[in-house]
């Protein structure tokens, strides 16, 4: 099955198709993680994007139903250098190609992903068209140029949940227990005896976030992105969590208003898009990065402690640091690659946020203690100490 990947600048890549016989358009981006293609595909933050993996061999350990991060893959298409002809893992249930075919998503292999990545790093993000159907070069380029721009797009409405629900801690299907090798205590987590209820806004949340919250002492009430501040208060939560999600953070004024109303009343922790929602709620602004941060190897420095963490990230927008000056918050963390804002903390309110993904999945666990910090912040608030 032949396939084509055409970019809006007129570049065309030909390769071998896999997955569904279909065409898709979106913003092409690259992810530098060496493993975790299943978690990447099912991350709702990739809605409207076609993902390129920089690691050359993909698909070797197949797909299983445990490691998914949402109910389906959300990436519009998948670009790789080489598709493994063999699936070899005891947890695998189907191949990568069969998985994409099941959900109607096209993939292309035998692409020079190094050349594509270098192009994106030099020129910045580009719209593209990926097709495994008979499609000429000119038509593919035309479709790429006609595709929807990421800037100004609200994809959150497409990936959020339809109604509130409890993420059940005792449901085996939720896989809330931390993994540790049999016969060892490696990776085991001691859940606090006291549990707090957190209202978790689903802007496109990954399942691992809910699992981490459960493991660190929270009862998780999941709310749709459009839930109002009044609806949050009806549930009487102890805290509020703002999740990751896709699209342009500036295109979500209805969320900005809700978060602004909740800031004075609850301890709040935000990650990724949630971080950007706090930025806008404080009156700040965000801007589009040249090619974004996506992968499990992003170095972040904490300006308060001097500690450097290697983090998992997936975002194409960032906070403008000048826009939040005199807005009540301070920058707590920066990306060491480009000095962009990676963390904020309010100077008076129990509110903090990070641009990266402390739940990893896939990625390193350096930032896992942030969930402990959130629990302790809520604990102090309930004790009247903050």
> Residue 357 catalytic?
yes
Distance CA 10, CA 164 (A): 45
* Residue whose pair of structure tokens reads 């139903």 in the numeric block: 65
- Token digits of residue 72: 């389906």
Nearest Cα residue to 121 out of 43, 36, 54: 54
Spatial CB neighbours of 341, under 8 Å, sequence gap ≥ 6: 318, 319, 321, 331, 333, 334, 335, 355
> Residue 280 catalytic?
no
Distance CA 148, CA 275 (A): 24
Distance CA 195, CA 191 (A): 9
Residue 178 per-residue DSSP state: P
| Other CB atoms within 10 A of residue 226 CB | 14
The distance from CA 346 to its chain's CA centroid, rounded to whole angstroms, is 23
Catalytic residue among 39, 69, 333, 359: 359
Catalytic residue among 272, 275, 293, 342: 272
> Residue 359 catalytic?
yes
- Token digits of residue 20: 């569904």
Calculated CA dihedral for residues 80, 86, 92, 94, nearest 10 degrees: 70
**How are the residues of the chain apportioned to helix, strand and coil, as percentages rounded to the nearest 5?**
25, 30, 45
- Judge contact between 172 and 44, C-beta under 8 A: no
Distance CA 380, CA 60 (A): 47
Distance CA 328, CA 215 (A): 31
- Judge contact between 94 and 61, C-beta under 8 A: no
For residue 252, give Cα distances in angstroms to 30, 296, 301. Answer: 25, 27, 29
Catalytic residue among 256, 275, 293, 357: 357
| Other CB atoms within 10 A of residue 377 CB | 19
Burial class (CB in 10 A: 0-12, 13-18, 19+), 90: exposed
Residues annotated as catalytic are: 272, 357, 359
């Amino acid at each position: 099955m032949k396939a084509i990947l055409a970019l809006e600048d007129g570049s065309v890549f030909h390769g071998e198709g896999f997955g569904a016989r279909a065409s898709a358009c979106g913003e092409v981006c690259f992810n530098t993680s060496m493993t975790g293609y299943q978690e990447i595909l099912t991350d709702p933050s990739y809605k409207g994007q076609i993902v390129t993996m920089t690691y050359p061999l993909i698909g070797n350990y197949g797909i299983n139903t445990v490691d998914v991060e949402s109910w389906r893959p959300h990436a519009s298409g998948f670009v790789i250098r080489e598709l493994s002809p063999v699936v070899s893992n005891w947890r695998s249930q189907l191949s990568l190609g069969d998985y994409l075919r099941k959900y109607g998503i096209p993939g292309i292999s035998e692409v020079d992903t190094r050349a594509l990545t270098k192009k994106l790093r030099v020129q910045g993000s580009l719209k593209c068209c990926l097709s495994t159907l008979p499609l000429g070069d000119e038509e593919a380029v035309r479709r790429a140029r006609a595709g929807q721009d990421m800037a100004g797009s609200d994809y959150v409405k497409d990936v959020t949940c339809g109604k509130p629900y409890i993420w059940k801690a005792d449901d085996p299907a939720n896989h809330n227990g931390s993994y540790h090798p049999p016969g060892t205590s490696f990776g085991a987590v001691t859940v606090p005896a006291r549990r707090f209820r957190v209202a978790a806004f689903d802007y496109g949340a990954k399942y691992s976030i809910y699992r981490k919250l459960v493991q660190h002492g929270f009862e998780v009430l999941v709310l749709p992105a459009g839930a109002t501040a009044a609806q949050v208060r009806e549930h009487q939560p102890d805290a509020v969590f703002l999740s990751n999600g896709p699209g342009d953070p500036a295109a979500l004024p209805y969320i900005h208003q809700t978060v602004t109303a909740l800031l004075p009343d609850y301890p709040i922790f935000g990650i990724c898009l949630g971080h950007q929602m706090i930025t806008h709620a404080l009156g700040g602004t965000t801007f589009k990065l040249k090619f974004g941060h996506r992968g499990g190897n992003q170095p972040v420095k904490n300006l308060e402690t001097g500690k450097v963490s290697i983090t998992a990230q997936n975002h194409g927008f960032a906070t403008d640091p000048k826009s939040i000056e005199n807005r009540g918050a301070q920058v707590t963390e920066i990306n060491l690659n480009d000095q962009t804002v990676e963390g904020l903390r309010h100077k008076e309110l129990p509110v903090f946020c990070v641009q990266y993904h402390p739940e990893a999945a896939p990625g390193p666990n350096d930032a896992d203690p942030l969930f402990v910090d959130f629990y302790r912040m809520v604990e102090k608030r309930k004790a009247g100490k903050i």
